[in-house]
Each structure stands twice: as structure tokens, then as C-alpha cells.
Amino acid sequence: MSGARSAWVLASICTSLVAVSAGAEPADAVSLELDLARKPALYLVIEGDSPALSVRVRGLELDAVPVRGLRVAWQGGGAPPALALPQLWRVTEAPEAEWRRVVAPPELIPYEASLEEETLTPLPSPTPPPPRPHSFAVATDSGWRLAVAPSVAEVAPVGLWRRVARGWQRLLGEPDPAMPPTLVAVVAAEDDARRVVHLFKPGTAVLVGGRAPVASIRPAAEEGAVTSRP
């Protein structure tokens, strides 16, 4: 390779590297999704155009929870916090895990094969788990919280009394933990939050402001579900 040609190749590489490192053009929604789809993990997409919480893998929409509306909740006066789209968030903290807890019997009795056959012998049983939550909020690495709930008030204390309580806390010199800005996906039914709560694990990617899926095998529409899908 001639010296001039080598210099040209080197310059091209350097120019590309500079452009990439400078982040001249932020990634668009498809490029962000493309990076997610290259891996076998599930990811969630909050679409910008038609509100829905879409469950995807490899670019394929497996299911979607219909969303009545997306709301931004924040604490304090002034304008709402700015939300530039698209953004890729990662869940850093799973929802409250109390609903998952089951405690084994405090005392275990020695195993006997006959116990399995003798149905009349009552065996000590674990405590039944509480029901799954119908609303929840998770922390993300963006500084925002993401919540799924039938109403904003379920996840952001908007009432007068909560405001009074915060005021009293301040009067008494107690710390008032500020609520981070929260994106609330307001779902139509409580069951909608229950059926996706287990997907919000630490590390789960959420593409906020994503595009409609390139392919969907979403199950047949149920009552109240969004039906306009490719």
C-alpha cells in the first residue's frame, strides 16, 4: 500500500472515530432497538406514537399492554422535567418483592414415603404468597422512575394531604425524600400491571419513545386492547 493511500485510510478511520466519540448524531429509535435485538434478552418499548408497553425480543413483539396514557409526574414547581426521545433506560431496582415471599413451615417433619399417599394426614404448608401488585414503580439508570399503574395517584403522591405531610416533615426538620421524575404508563386495568411486573428485573432494558415493531405476534386483541398492529 502506498504512503498516500495509507494516510487516506488512516484519516478516514480517525474521522469516523472522532465522529462516533463526539456523538454528533444521537442514535435513533431503530438503531437503539437494533442493539437490543442482537441479544437474546427481552426488552420493553414504550412507543412514542401509539401508547403501548410492548414486550419484544429479537425485534419481534411478543405482546403489548395497552396504555391509556403516558404522564410525567414530578415534585416541585416549575416546568416539567425535559424528556428527550428516544432514550434507553435500564431498570436498576425491581419492584417491591413482598408479593413473592413465601415462608416454609417453621418445623419440618421427617420424610416418609407413606405421607405422599396418606391424603388424610395434613402436611404443614407454606404461607400463601400475597397477590401481585396492581401498580408499581421501578428505578432506572436514567434518574427517572418508570411506573405502571391504573392511575398516577397510585405511584405519585399528588393529593393535598400528602403535600401537607411533606410540609410537616419539613417543619419538623425531617428529611423529605424528593420524588424523582416519573414516567407513568397509565394502564386500563389492574390486571395489566400484574401481568408485566415480573418483567421489570434489574438490567431489563426499556426503550422510551421507540417505534412500532417491525413484526408482531401479539395475541388476538382482548377487550380494550390496542388492535392496530402490523
Partner 1 sequence: MTEPRDDIATPEAETPLPPAVDDGGRRRRLLRALPATAALAALFGVAVAAAIGDPVRHVPWSAAVVAEAGPGSDPKAIRRLERLVPEGRIVVIDSARGRLRVLRDGVEERAAACSAGSGTILIEPGNRVWVFDTPLGERRVIEKRRDPVWTKPDWAFVEEGTLPPKRWSERRDDVSLGDYALSLGDGYLIHGTLFQTLLGQPVTHGCIRLGDEDLEYVWRTVGVGTRVYLY
The residue within the footprint of partner 1, chosen from 108, 114, 117, 173 (CB under 8 A), is 108
Does residue number 189 form part of the binding site for partner 1 (CB under 8 A)? no
Angstrom distance (rounded) from CA 83 to CA 89: 12
Q: What is the size of the binding site for partner 1 (CB under 8 A)?
A: 93
- For partner 1, what does the binding mask look like between residues 43 and 82, x meaning CB under 8 A? ------------x-xxxx-xx-----xxxxxxxxx--xxx
202 in contact with partner 1 (CB under 8 A): no
Distance of CA 165 to the CA centre of its chain: 29
152 lies in the site for partner 1, by CB under 8 A: yes
- Retrieve residue 226's grid coordinates: 390496542
Binding partner 1 by CB under 8 A: which of 7, 92, 126, 202?
126
What does the per-residue mask of binding to partner 1 show for 14-43, with x meaning CB under 8 A? -----------xxxxxxx-xx--xx-xxx-
User: According to CB under 8 A, which one of 52, 64, 149, 184 is a site residue for partner 1?
Assistant: 184
State the nearest-atom distance from the C-beta of 194 to partner 1, in Å.
7
Integer Cα distance of 70 and 186 in angstroms: 6
For residue 195, the minimal CB distance to partner 1 (Å) is 4
177: contact with partner 1 by CB under 8 A: no
Which residue, 1 or 108, has its beta carbon nearer to partner 1? 108
Which secondary-structure segment (H or E) carries 204? none
Instruction: Report if residue 1 touches partner 1, rule: CB under 8 A.
Output: no
> Does the CA dihedral 56-181-194-159 come out positive or negative?
negative
Phi–psi pair at 174, nearest 5 degrees: -85, 150
Q: Does 3 bind partner 1 (CB under 8 A)?
A: no
Residues 6+ apart with CB under 8 A from 146: 89, 91, 137, 138, 140, 182, 183, 185, 200, 206
Pairing of strands 87-93, 136-140: antiparallel
Rounded to whole angstroms, how far apart are CA atoms 106 and 102? 12
Residue 174 in the binding site for partner 1 (CB under 8 A):
no
**17/170 with CB nearer partner 1:** 170
**Touching partner 1, residues 132-151 (CB under 8 A):** 132
- 57 and 41 Cβ atoms separated by less than 8 Å: yes
